[in-house]
Chain A
């Protein structure tokens, strides 16, 4: 009897599975530009993953509300992977079969895993503000687009900002700078640039790793209390950031001397600490919290006021929401640019979108027209430069909101470019990839 019921259950389940796969095959038929959305709304990083995902999806809804990309409507599907690399790869495999336009995994680990798969499947990867730093070199990394900035840009600007506070790059000599980082490819990315800069300016770099997910940092901050570094750079994500700031408060390390990467500079990181985080600064990937920008007003009017909003309304315009929104915008603009060449009003393939992303040219006029005035600066990509822009600002938490506290910085290409080329060439020899020639680039 028991066996019969179990067999019955198994049979029902297998019928369900097959019908589920059939139904997904049917969905892919429609003439819509399909955007897969890899998200993490659960797990240790959900507090930061949620606003990003909401901004991303909201922007796609906004584009549809404005009539689509030259009339082509956007469809999308979320896949939850909880910041786990293997589930992220599973999501990629699941969604790529549905005619995916572009993937934005929001996880450096997943980016590393997908970098080898993207050229085979011919789907571009946008990693706006994360991913592999050397993938800026588009002649080797044909399918990767670390638009707006990489961690090497972040590390370079962080040192520039610290130097400016001290009164010049020469003042860095003999100073102690500690890097508190998430012990994963994400946190390790900036180390080569910081080491290079340490050599150039003669400051002492201290590396302090924090294990995933970052709630256990007592030992790290005891070390900071003992060594008293002049500055602390925080390369954290999710709960690690608020924990670090709380620990800084507990050990009495001045928050003014701390500088976070752009993933450690959003509302969820400081809100719980509130006034205790006052004076803490973080890099801003061009934009900060932008509740007064035109695109946010459009979003509220055309999406949220119609009851179509994905997340809570008060989150619209917050830092990570804007990051998701801008990431989606970059993907959509890649499609728009591709349509310029391959036919307006048509659904673009991944290969065509890749061309669009490589020839992206968002000048200030275009950005202002879309409502991004004051939010970001122009982005122009090329075959050799898949990043398109390396402008960074710094914003500071004043106890209740993020406010800009510096002028625009730009990463020093003299330092970064040779490193990018060297790392990209190393990757190319390891993987047997041929660097694209000028003619191949022009295609």
Chain B
């Protein structure tokens, strides 16, 4: 009833080429951004910001980057954690070594450094595919783990191997309260999500998808596989690198290479698979599922136990968290192998007919 495009006529090409062609979609997204930027700062408390919303936003951005590569271009990667690490350490080095380096520029340069390494580690994708490529990108992970642990220059010769950033400042605005950090991350995520959405609608995104669906056919119709694949690696790594810089600078504040271990790479890949491959929205769903759900379970289970009069031990809660989390992953993969984003689009389909289904 409410979610229908009836009566919305497009009278120009510009109107037809908008991101959201249906007015309701457009208003929904604007409303969501307004809610996140205006209402959330008033509603959420410090814990929500620092422990849930900031990591959710940063990992959404990283998942978005991985989704561009895995979901849109079909190149499986297990090196996302490494590119996050490159982004974080490169941004750190730009900050430390160049006096008066602006924060945002340092983060973008961190992303650029990650993009350069993304291209380098994307070269094997020209020859190998699928699982073999995943193994090849895993090399990036191990190389970075090794380099950031062993090469003192990257950590500015910190004796413990852990680096930390001084205060964050953007054009005189000191980003230190949780709300400010949240808004800082939100701004990054919104801008990058719009960029990602537009990239996937543009010629380059269509090339990626053609490569994903059948690379031989794509080559036959004139798409250059080298350009398409390496650009996907570069753009994806750029996103992931910026997310890594945000993770280190804004969320952790001080970090060691273990923050970007192979676990992080797997986590990001799972976000994309569970959220929905080839969907911008799916990256956010996946990040929410992986970041928020374990923390929610960890707090909800003792509460649930106290309702029925059982006190659950700390270790018990932790084990239960893993069991339930694991079962939910399997459950969602069985009922919806295309990810949570697919549920979202099914919901939209149903909403068009509601309340009078055929």
Contacts and interface: CB of A to CB of B under 8 A. Distances in A.
Interface string A415-443: 00000000100000011100000000000
A129 B20 CA distance: 58
Contacts of A161: none
Contact of A183 (B149, B251, B259, B335): B149
B196 to A, nearest CB: 25
Given A2-B335, A50-B315, A430-B164, 20 more contacts: A13-B296, A16-B300, A16-B303, A20-B300, A23-B303, A41-B313, A46-B315, A80-B298, A80-B318, A93-B47, A108-B160, A109-B256, A113-B252, A113-B255, A183-B149, A185-B162, A188-B160, A188-B161, A212-B258, A423-B159
Contacts of A183: 149
A94 interface: yes
Interface in B242-301: 251-256, 258-259, 261, 295-296, 298-300
Given A17-B300, A85-B258, A184-B256, A112 B47 contact: no
Interface residues of A, number: 49
B162 A109 contact: yes
Given A20-B300, A97-B45, A132-B160, A115 B254 contact: yes
Those 4 A-B pairs whose CB atoms lie nearest each other, nearest first? A41-B315, A185-B160, A93-B51, A78-B314
Contact of B296 (A6, A17, A192): A17
A185 B261 CA distance: 15
Interface string A108-125: 110011011100100000
A24 B45 CA distance: 13
Nearest to A98: B47
Contacts of A93: 46-47, 50-51
A299 to B, nearest CB: 20
Contact of A82 (B50, B51, B255, B318): B318
B347 interface: yes
Nearest to A134: B159
Interface string B117-140: 000000000000000000000000
Contacts of B350: 3
A90 B51 contact: yes
A24 B318 CA distance: 19
Interface residues of B, number: 42
B257 to A, nearest CB: 9
B314 A39 contact: yes
A215 interface: no
A23 B258 CA distance: 34
B223 to A, nearest CB: 37
A46 B314 CA distance: 12
B45 A3 contact: no
A89 interface: yes
Contacts of B347: 3
B346 A3 contact: yes
A184 B47 contact: no
> Which of A97, A112, A132, A423 has the most chain B CB atoms inside 10 A of its CB?
A112
17 contacts: A3-B350, A20-B303, A24-B299, A46-B315, A80-B314, A85-B258, A90-B295, A93-B50, A94-B299, A109-B256, A113-B254, A132-B160, A183-B149, A188-B161, A192-B159, A212-B258, A432-B166
Contacts of B253: 113, 116-117
B167 interface: yes
B116 interface: no
B112 to A, nearest CB: 25
B201 interface: no
